[in-house]
Amino acid sequence: MDFSVVIPARGRTDLLRTLLESLNTARGFNDGDVEILILDDSDEPYSTAIKSMSTGLGASYIRAEMTVGAKRNLGARMSNHDIVVFLDSDVRVSDNFFCGYERVFAAKEINMAIGLLEFYGDESWYWKVVKSTPFVKCFDMPRYMDMLPWGCSCNMAVRRDFFLELSGFSDEFREPAGEDVDLGLRVSKRHIPIVPVKESVAFHSNTTWSKRRDMIRRVCMYGRGDAVLVERHPDSTVRSGLRRWIFFLAITIICCLSAIVSENAWMLLMIPTLIVAELLAVSAKISVKTEDVSLCQALASQELVLRNELSYILTCISRGHPGNVFRQIVTVEGQAYDILDFMRFAYLLDLGLLMLLFIFSGLVITYA
């Protein structure tokens, strides 16, 4: 079977070389032709290096100064084969990578499939922090689900005509966050199956997920992407209840007002005290439920979760949909229960702390 592989690139020359070398190995296990399209918008000297590397490793280089989703759309339009495979530049593929997709697409009714993704690299302290967050759970979907509601575009295969009929990835997503969820939901709502392919494995380097600065940038993008998803798919949302940032804002206002009315500046110490208490309680729950994650790592993970939530809230407000602050996108069966279970815990915790604060503030004001 013939395949066109589309890879959006920007920098990461060493990781891209590893990917291209692994694709050349996988080519040897495939009877058909495999064309590889690199769509790059790197700055110099990386662009020259990637262009030279592409030529040397049997790939076509295309200069494309556009968003990641637009790169994939352009690559699909320029491809010459019926099956288009999307890969990220920081993965490498298994030797029998194309065999799994060939087996699935032999059935003419299959239009979209998602390969398995496995992270590899050093098990660093911060990588365990990342693993305790919800941001990596979606990569396991092909492992335990028979049919998928959506799939990550870092290892995705589609029939070219079907993809172009859908107009590809939406250009409403200006960053690489949420566009693959949106595509999958559009497909699922048409009752078209998205098939998991466990044999077609992409190994994802965790080096791009193991640095705090990179992860902060990533989760903030995810927050902005979720805001767009909630707008585009309101029927795939649930009520989120009290957002944790709303709780933090509420206790800050209450403590400041109490300090002013009672003329007791010590009330301001309640702000960091209650915030730390909330963070420790949530982190303890995560540490208990997540294997091999310490309380300190669970606490560090809350920075990512809260930055993601703040990014989501600010994007909802800036886009003119403040009501969506209290909505949560749900894409997987059972996800609603998990989300609501955690949010119920956080909601009851925050509500309890607020009640204690009201009682304490009332006593301070009464006896001031």
**pLDDT tens per residue across span 80-103:** 999 999 999 999 999 999 999 999
pLDDT of residue 362: 75
Phi and psi torsions of 81, nearest 5°: -120, 160
Cα–Cα distances (Å) from 360 to 16, 46, 269, in that order, read 58, 60, 13
Lowest mean pLDDT among 9-13, 84-88, 229-233: 9-13
Peptide bond into 193 cis (omega under 30): no
The residue assigned the tokens 């805001």 is: 227
Specify if 217 maps to a domain: no
pLDDT of residue 341: 64
Number of domains, the chain: 2
pLDDT of residue 141: 87
Specify if 225 maps to a domain: no
Residue 335 has pLDDT above 90, yes or no: no
Share of the chain above pLDDT 90, in %: 62
Phi and psi torsions of 105, nearest 5°: -80, 0
pLDDT tens column, 149-168: 999 999 999 999 999 999 99
- Whether 15 contacts 90, CB under 8 Å: yes
Q: How many CB atoms lie within 10 A of CB 344?
A: 11
Q: How many CB atoms lie within 10 A of CB 28?
A: 9
Residue 172 has pLDDT above 50, yes or no: yes
| The two structure tokens encoding residue 166 | 């859908």
Phi and psi torsions of 247, nearest 5°: -60, -45
Alpha carbons 210 and 46: distance in angstroms, whole number: 22
- Domain of residue 259, residue span: 234-366
Counting other chains too, the contacts that 316-320 makes at CB distance below 8 Å and 24 or more residues apart are 316/227, 316/230, 319/227, 319/228, 319/231
Q: Are residues 121 and 15 in the same domain?
A: yes
Alpha-helical runs (H) found in the chain:
13-27, 46-56, 68-78, 97-105, 125-131, 141-144, 160-165, 179-188, 212-232, 244-262, 270-289, 295-318, 335-366
pLDDT of residue 342: 66
Residue 40 has pLDDT above 50, yes or no: yes
Q: Are residues 153 and 242 in the same domain?
A: no
Residue 337: pLDDT band (50, 70, 90) is: very low
Specify if 117 maps to a domain: yes
Please identify, among 210, 226, 258, the residue that sits at the C-terminal boundary of a domain: 210
Residue 333 has pLDDT above 80, yes or no: no
Specify if 229 maps to a domain: no
Residue 340: pLDDT band (50, 70, 90) is: low
pLDDT of residue 357: 77
Q: Are residues 288 and 192 in the same domain?
A: no
Specify if 227 maps to a domain: no
Residue 328 has pLDDT above 70, yes or no: yes
Specify if 149 maps to a domain: yes
Instruction: Say what the pTM is.
Output: 0.89
Q: Is 275 exposed, middle or buried (0-12, 13-18, 19+ CB in 10 A)?
A: middle
Alpha carbons 252 and 95: distance in angstroms, whole number: 56
pLDDT tens column, 131-146: 888 888 888 888 888 8
Residue 368 has pLDDT above 70, yes or no: no
Q: Are residues 203 and 238 in the same domain?
A: no
pLDDT tens column, 242-301: 788 988 999 899 899 988 888 888 889 889 999 999 899 888 888 887 778 889 999 999
pLDDT tens column, 99-127: 999 999 999 999 999 999 999 888 889 99
Share of the chain above pLDDT 70, in %: 95
Alpha carbons 166 and 186: distance in angstroms, whole number: 8
